[in-house]
Structure 1
Amino acid sequence: MSELPQFVDIQQIFELLPHRYPFLMVDRVTEVVPGESLKAFKNVTVNEPFFQGHFPGLPVMPGVLMCEALAQAGGLLALLSDEEMSKGDNVFLFTGIDKVRFRRRVVPGDKLDLEVFDMKRKMNLIKMSGKALVNGELACQGIMSAAIVNREDM
């Protein structure tokens, strides 16, 4: 694999992931160990569209979106770990998340640190662990799985 950059910025994330506003949940990748782990973050602002209804007067980031942020970080780890995987028109389909736990609220102004690790791949299936933290405090954790599918086969 060619040498990875020091970090992966939003423009490079756009090249790797199909997600766009309002559903892109990763702002920057800060560390990658191909095939092993990735660290990234999502800056949570009051301008997030989900805060309008979750909950008026008491904005809280939905837990399912924390899981989505971890899944997107996992997709980035897989893509940055295997050049062949990032070629062509592959799409990662989130197939499951197990042992999910939510430990703290995430609110506007928080920086959601994302860590995915312990990646295992078998054919077109990927499984890895992930955790989301705010100021070093665990907000969410789980074990995610995804399938790699060619867009043309969908």
Structure 2
Amino acid sequence: MDIDKIKRILPQRYPFLFIDKIIEFEKDVRLTALKNVTVNEEYFKGHFPAIPVMPGVLLIEAMGQAAIIFLNLNNESDFDKPDSPDIYYLCAVKARFLHPVKPGDSVIIDVTPVKLTKNSGIIKAVAKVDGREVARAELTGAKQR
């Protein structure tokens, strides 16, 4: 899935759009997304100029955006309708950061459902760089009513 379709699903825009490409989607099973981290990212100006590291909260945001794409694709939303896609709010996060993400890294994010209902979901997200796990999270989201 290319960036144009991603932008029809997610309301975020630069500099807060953290998914560049969907590599794989399997309904009810998983979604794999890509975030290319460049030295030009706005947050590197202050976090930290001498030793740039992607802030953990933004890695959680990237995992959350991948989860929202999964939930919308799973619900087969019609992205050309004005009231679609569904808007999900992140309600709870349990996260663990294992290794820093630096400029030049390509972050692969795998999301899998733990529990899905019509209006909410619990999603497991794992972020990897070069096959090495850098972060993982359990994300709970609910659909806007």
Assess if the C-alpha contact under 8 Å between 1:78 and 1:85 holds in 2.
no
Assess if the C-alpha contact under 8 Å between 1:37 and 1:119 holds in 2.
no
1:95-146 CA-partner distances (Å, limit 9, x unpaired)? 1112x11111100000011100124222411111001000000100010011
Unaligned regions of 5+ residues in structure 1, if any? 1-7
Question: Could you state the TM-score of these two structures normalised by the residue count of structure 2?
Answer: 0.92
User: Structure 2: which amino acid aligns with 1:91?
Assistant: I
SS at match of 1:141: strand
Unaligned regions of 5+ residues in structure 2, if any? none
User: Structure 2: which amino acid aligns with 1:93?
Assistant: Y
1:16-49 CA-partner distances (Å, limit 9, x unpaired)? 1111001000000000011210001100001100
The 5 Å alignment of 1:5-154 reads 8-84=1-77, 88-89=83-84, 90-98=86-94, 100-150=95-145
Identity of aligned residues (%): 37
Question: Could you state the TM-score of these two structures normalised by the residue count of structure 1?
Answer: 0.87
Q: How many residues align?
A: 142
User: Structure 2: which amino acid aligns with 1:60?
Assistant: V
Dislocated runs of 4+, deviation >4 Å: 84-87
